[in-house]
Amino acid sequence: MKQLSEKELFHLVNTISIEYFGKAYTDEVIFNSRLRTTGGRYLPSKRLIELNPKYYFEADEDEFIGIIKHELCHYHLHIEGKGYKHGDPEFKALLRLTGSPRHCKPLSSNMNRQKHQYKCVNCNYVYKRVRRVDLKRYRCGKCRGKLVRLS
């Protein structure tokens, strides 16, 4: 896929906003290549949506549209003066209503970075990490069991 211009990106976001929310998107939307672990973010102070261009190129179209819908949920609730943060009931309800994802899927390029694997002795949950974990200091976040290194 080719890189979208700012005008084309705005048109895409505005079209999705009208289709799923019944309201136009009037503020700015940009690609931010510095985003590493998230698909996008909404900055309420600037009324700006920033999207990760890696998701546009690497993920499928439905995933990218889902990220836009998620950020539009933040935007429209903020504009209306309602609870727009992840924990707010209004936000969760609007996510369900519009079919927006709560979290985006990890990129395949980032999955290769996870070199270290740890397993809980009690519940057998497997943790995949980029950095090493100090096994003397950290326990399982689910059951407080002891962790062992797999790779």
Active site residues per annotation: 71
What element of type H or E holds 54? helix 53-58
Nearest CA to 38 among 48, 21, 51? Answer: 51
**Contact by Cβ (8 Å): 71, 101:** no
Nearest CA to 101 among 66, 135, 129? Answer: 66
What phi, psi does 42 have (nearest 5°)?
A: -110, 125
- State both tokens at 22: 């019944």
